[in-house]
Amino acid sequence: MHIHDVESLFHILSFQAENQAKAVYKNGYPLSGNGIQWILLVGPYWIPKMFGPFSEAESTVRAHKTSGSADFEATMELLNQTPPQLDELYLLGTQESFNRLEEIIASTDQLAQPFTQAMTS
């Protein structure tokens, strides 16, 4: 959890995931009012990350957009220097990972129930 390169990769990946979560909100997918749980994967490691809910203004701003400019590269270097510490980190294939994934998936059951009922009707 305290390896700088791993923390940096998850930090950079979280920007892309945040953009995807904003797209989910903008497209009106059914979500809870507490946000949406995202699973970020780097190699055999993963972390859960909660995004949203987003305000109207927040949903229009992208977390980062790839650019060839020196400004973008300098920003990414800064991001790599001080990534936030990981609160959770799981290794695929472990019981702890299985239990946490099961918890996350089960948390979506209530949101999916209307769709499941509609399909079986």
18 falls within a domain: yes
Number of domains in the chain: 1
In this structure, are residues 51 and 17 in contact, taking their beta carbons and an 8 Å threshold?
yes
Q: Which domain holds residue 17?
A: 4-116
**Is residue 121 situated within a structural domain?**
no
Q: Is residue 72 domain-resident?
A: yes
Q: Which residues contact 118 (CB under 8 A, 6 or more apart)?
A: none
Of residues 59 and 71, more confidently modeled: 59
Residue 39: pLDDT band by 50, 70, 90 thresholds? very high
| DSSP reduced 3-state for 26 | helix
Q: Is residue 47 situated within a structural domain?
A: yes
Does any domain span residue 86?
yes
Alpha helix (H) residue ranges in 1-121: 4-26, 56-59, 70-81, 95-106, 109-120
Task: Specify if 74 maps to a domain.
Answer: yes
**pTM for the complete prediction?**
0.74
**Residue 19 pLDDT exceeds 70:** yes
pLDDT for the residue 54: 82
Asked if the structure places residue 36 within a domain, the reply is yes
Tokens of 77: 């270097």
Under the banding of pLDDT at 50, 70 and 90, the label for residue 73 is low
* 8-21 mean pLDDT: 90
pLDDT tens-place string over residues 80-109: 567 788 999 999 999 999 999 999 999 888
Q: Computed from CA positions of residues 30, 98, 7, 68, in that sequence, does the dihedral angle turn out positive or negative? A: negative
Q: What is the pLDDT of residue 71?
A: 58
